[in-house]
Amino acid sequence: MNYLLCTLFEIKWLPDIWAVILVSVIGFGVVISLLILTVLFLVLAERKLLGFFTQRKGPNRVGLWGVLQTTADAIKLLCKENIELLSSDKFIFTIAPIMAFASVILLWCLIPYNSEFHLINSSVGVLLYFAIASLPMIFHFLAGYSSNNKYSLIGSYRSLGLTCSYSIVLMLSVMSVIFLSGTMDLDKIVLFQSKTWMIFSNILGFLIFFIATLAKLNRCPFDLSEAESEIVCGYHTEYSGMRFAMFFLGEYAELFVMSMLVAILFFGGYLPPFGMYLANAFMGNCEFCSYFIYFEQTIWLFIKTLIIVFVIIWIRATLPRLTQVSTLNMFWKYIIPISIFNLIMIIMMRALW
Amino acid sequence: MVKKIYLSIKAILKGHFTVLKHLFRNSVTLEYPEVHPFLNHYFRGRHVLEGCRGCGLCKRVCPSDAIMIEKNDNNYLNKYVIDYSKCIFCGNCMFYCPTHSMKMSNDYELAKTNKSQLLTDIYYKGV
Same domain membership, residue A250 and residue A142? yes
Q: At which of A47, A79, A111 does a domain end?
A: A79
Question: Do residues A213 and A258 touch, judged by C-beta distance below 8 A?
Answer: yes
Determine the residue of chain B that is closest to A52 in CA distance.
B23
Residue B28 belongs to a domain: no
Single pTM value for the model: 0.83
Of A46, A79, A112, which closes a domain? A79
Domain of B54: which CATH number?
3.30.70.3270
pLDDT digits (tens, 9 = 90+) for A241-257: 888 888 888 889 999 99
CB–CB of A212/A162 below 8 Å? no
Rg (CA), chain A: 21
- Mean pLDDT, chain B, rounded, equals 85
- In terms of residue numbers, what domain contains B51? 47-121
Kindly report, residue by residue over B76-113, the tens digit of the pLDDT: 888 888 888 888 999 888 899 898 888 888 888 888 88
pLDDT of the residue at B126: 54
* A120 lies in the same domain as A75: no
> Residue B85 falls within a domain, yes or no?
yes
Percent of chain B with pLDDT over 70: 97
Looking at the structure of chain B, the number of domains it has is 1
Residue of B nearest to A311 (CA): B16
A86 located within any domain: no
Q: Which of A55, A57, A60 is the closest to B22 by Cβ?
A: A55
B16 touches chain A (CB under 8 A): yes
Assigned domain for B56 exists: yes
- Last residue of some domain: A79, A104, A119? A79
Residue A161 phi/psi, 5-degree rounding, is: -60, -40
A319 touches chain B (CB under 8 A): yes
Structural domain count, chain A = 2
Residue B8 forms part of a structural domain: no
A interface test, pick of B16, B30, B31, B35 with most A CB neighbours within 10 Å: B16
Q: Residue A85 domain-assigned?
A: no
- Both A317 and A344 in one domain: the answer is yes
Rounded distance, CA A249 to CA A34, Å?
A: 13
B124 pLDDT higher than 70: no
pLDDT greater than 60 at residue B35: yes
Residues of chain A with Cβ-Cβ distance to B16 below 8 Å are: 314-315, 318
Q: What is the reported pLDDT for B63? A: 92
Interface test with B, best of A48, A55, A326 (most B CBs within 10 A): A55
Domain identity same for A237 and A320: yes
- Sequence-distant (≥ 6) Cβ neighbours of residue A280 within 8 angstroms: A289, A293
B5, part of any domain: no
Q: Provide the shortest C-alpha distance from residue B33 to chain A (in Å).
A: 12
Query: Cα–Cα distance between A137 and A132 in angstroms, integer?
Result: 10
Could you list the mean pLDDT of each consecutive 10-residue stretch along chain A, which spans 353 residues? 72 76 85 88 90 87 83 87 82 88 89 82 87 88 86 86 87 89 87 85 89 88 81 82 86 90 88 76 71 83 91 89 86 90 89 80
Q: pLDDT per residue over A315-345, tens digit each? A: 988 888 888 888 888 888 888 999 999 999 9
Question: Smallest Cβ distance to A318: which of B16, B25, B26?
Answer: B16
In this structure, the answer to whether residues A198 and A321 fall within a common structural domain is yes
Q: Which domain holds residue A18?
A: 1-79
Domain contains B55: yes
Q: Which residues of A257-288 are buried (b: 16+ CB within 10 A; e: fewer)?
A: bbbbbbbbbbbbbbbbeeeebebbeeeeeeee
Instruction: With beta carbons less than 8 A apart as the criterion, state whether A127 and A184 touch.
Output: yes
